[in-house]
């Protein structure tokens, strides 16, 4: 694969990995480009055939959808594919200081393959990894398609600042974040890796429908110990334009959609941190 001339300028390069069942890749591409990145949509088979492709990018995104039909469990097939065929390259990607974000199905993939949340484990050796967190069926036993409020409860993630509140859509049937036990959830909280929680419009922890899935601790998104891998269930790419807000005709247009913050923070991080390394 030949990188286009545009990537020789100061735009960070992002790769959106897609496969059968991915359906949020174009929205994610639009969001990243709006935030200032150069973006390629690449099929998983192309990367598996040419693993060095990952090294050409600084941001990797696993977008939403229903990869391989979620036939075993949401994201499980792609998680196994990445773990068994691309793990070394993904670990190198992280070790090089680059960024990974998994949205909805992408979040499920990252958790089930072991890249998230890795409590207090900076070194990404996944030998003997035992999955202690998962995304399970919603308590409502149905597909939840609604707008939700998120509040950032940590400064650890490079993708968001603490106490930021976002209003973005959620759309999933298996979005309930679960830990093996309460102790594991406590450890995740103490390590400041719980990035987003579902809240009400006042920013307070609340139950259904504010927490659409019944997640333990209202968890909506987590990061790894470095803060450079983020997984979140709601869809920031679906609220990057002000006209995507469901009440914009009644409440008036804002300058931009709130979800763009996630992507802009990623692009700015690469410009400010990694450009100094002349990548």
Tally of helices (H runs) and strands (E runs) in the chain: 8, 11
Of 237, 239, 245, 258, the active-site residue reads: 237
> What is the β-pairing status of strands 99-103 and 59-62?
parallel
237 carries an active-site annotation: yes
Of 27, 132, 235, 239, the active-site residue reads: 235
Of 24, 104, 223, 239, the active-site residue reads: 104
Cα–Cα distance measured from residue 77 to residue 74, given in angstroms and rounded to the nearest whole number: 8
Cα–Cα distance measured from residue 126 to residue 117, given in angstroms and rounded to the nearest whole number: 12
Cα–Cα distance measured from residue 102 to residue 86, given in angstroms and rounded to the nearest whole number: 16
235 carries an active-site annotation: yes
Backbone torsions φ then ψ of 32, nearest 5 degrees: -65, -40
223 carries an active-site annotation: no
Residues 6+ apart with CB under 8 A from 137: 173, 174, 176
| Tokens 């993939």 -> residue | 109
Catalytic residues: 104, 235, 237
């Amino acid at each position: 694969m030949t990188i286009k001339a545009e990537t020789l300028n100061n735009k960070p390069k992002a790769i959106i990995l897609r496969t059968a069942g991915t359906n949020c890749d174009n929205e994610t591409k639009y969001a990243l480009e709006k935030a200032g990145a150069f973006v390629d949509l690449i099929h998983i088979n192309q990367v598996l055939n040419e693993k060095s492709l990952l090294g050409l990018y600084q941001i990797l995104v696993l977008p939403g959808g229903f990869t391989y039909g979620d036939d075993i469990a949401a994201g499980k097939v792609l998680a196994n594919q990445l773990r068994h065929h691309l793990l070394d390259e993904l670990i190198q990607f992280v070790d090089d200081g680059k960024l990974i974000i998994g949205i909805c199905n992408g979040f499920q993939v990252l958790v089930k393959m072991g890249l998230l949340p890795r409590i207090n484990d900076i070194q990404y050796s996944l030998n003997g990894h035992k999955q202690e967190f998962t995304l399970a069926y919603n308590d409502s036993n149905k597909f939840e398609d609604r707008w939700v409020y998120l509040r950032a409860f940590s400064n650890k993630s490079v993708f968001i600042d603490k106490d930021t509140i976002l209003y973005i859509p959620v759309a999933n049937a298996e979005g309930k974040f679960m830990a093996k036990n309460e102790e594991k959830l406590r450890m995740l909280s103490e390590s400041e890796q719980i990035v987003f929680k579902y809240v009400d419009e006042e920013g307070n922890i609340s139950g259904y429908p504010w927490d659409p899935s019944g997640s333990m601790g209202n968890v909506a998104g987590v990061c790894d110990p470095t803060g450079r891998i983020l997984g979140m269930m709601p869809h920031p790419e679906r609220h990057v334009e002000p006209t995507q807000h469901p009440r914009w005709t009644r409440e008036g247009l804002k300058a931009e959609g709130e979800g763009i913050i996630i992507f802009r923070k990623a692009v700015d991080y690469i410009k400010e941190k990694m450009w100094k390394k002349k990548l």
